[in-house]
Structures are given as structure tokens and as C-alpha cells.
A = this chain, B = another copy of it.
Amino acid sequence: MQLLKERIQREGKVLPGNIIKVDGFLNHRVDIRLMEGIAKEFENLFDVKSITMVLTAEASGIALATICAQRYGVPMVFAKKAKSDNIEGGLYQSEIYSYTYKKKITQILSREWLTSHDRVLIIDDFMANGEAVRGLCDLVSQAGAELVGVGIAIEKGFQGGGDRLRGMGVNYHALAVIEHAEPGNITFRDEE
């Protein structure tokens, strides 16, 4: 997606540790018009007419997933990080490793809001090692629901998460795959 790549080139910053900071438009301050453009782009890549829900993980995926769910006319569900006492029993759980927080995290999702009848589009803002999305796929599988696809705004192509999903045959699309990043020089993988 050309517009997204231009925003990354213009406003993205590369920090030590291969961190790519896009917090001016994606995951701290969110440009809603850009999210609308991304949601429209996913519409060309996934069979959104057939889905029953958009699923994401808290926190930064929620804004994009909300705009996608709005456009496709379905509810948005987000998996939570465990330890809140606001969720009673009847949960799906998946264990993931958060490279951001440098610890294991348990994703939880109420069995009430994901069942074997659901057709799920997973949406997230960012894909690096892919742990968050791996956990979400696991939740979908536990529910016996159908995974229609996985849509990501920005993938760090050099960290393997996206390629692992492609290798598994998941209907996976990222709109901007960063192949290489150093300060002042961000390059993208050629279009699929």
C-alpha cells in the first residue's frame, strides 16, 4: 500500500534494537483516515463479506481493528492480557512471549464471544516476531472457528513472523513489509 509506505518513509524512525517507531500515525497517535484507507485495502484482499468478526490483541491493534469491523459491519473482539479480574471463567487461553515487555503473557478470550460458528479475520497493526498473532490463531483454533485471514498493516519482514504464517498456508497479507531498517533508510520488500 503506497500511501502507508510513504508515511513510514516520511515519519518512521529507526531506533536501536531494530525498533521501528511509527507512533505518530499508527500506535500511539492514530491517524483515523489512514486506518480507513487500510481497512479499504484489506477489503480487496480478504473475503470480508463472509466474516462474522474481526479479532485483535490489546492494545495497539484495537484502533485499526475497530475501523475494519466498522467497514465490514461486524463486531470487533480483542483478546486481553490476563490478570484482570473483570473476566470470569469460560476462557480460551494462549501463552505468548512478548518481546516488547520481555516476558510471557497469557492472552485470554471469553468463550462467549468466539464459537465454532465464527469466521474470523485477525487484524493487527504490527507484525514482528508474530507472537501476538500466533496466540490469536491459537485462540481461533481452540474455538473450532474458521480463520478467514490475517491482515497486518506493517510487517518487519526480517523478524520472521510473517514468513512463518505464509509458510503455514495462512491467508496472510501485510500492506507494508519492511525488509531493512536503519536510521534514515527504510526499504520495503517488493509487492507479493
Contacts and interface: CB of A to CB of B under 8 A. Distances in A.
Interface in A49-105: 53, 58-60, 62-63, 66-67, 69-70, 75-78, 80, 83-88, 100-101
A3 interface: no
Interface residues of A, number: 41
A24 interface: yes
Copies in the complex: 2
The majority secondary structure among interface residues of chain A is mixed
Interface of A: 15, 17, 19, 21, 23-24, 27-32, 35-36, 53, 58-60, 62-63, 66-67, 69-70, 75-78, 80, 83-88, 100-101, 109-110, 112-113
23 contacts: A19-B86, A23-B87, A23-B113, A28-B110, A29-B53, A29-B77, A30-B66, A30-B75, A30-B77, A31-B75, A32-B69, A32-B75, A35-B66, A58-B58, A58-B60, A59-B62, A62-B62, A62-B66, A63-B76, A83-B101, A84-B100, A84-B101, A85-B100
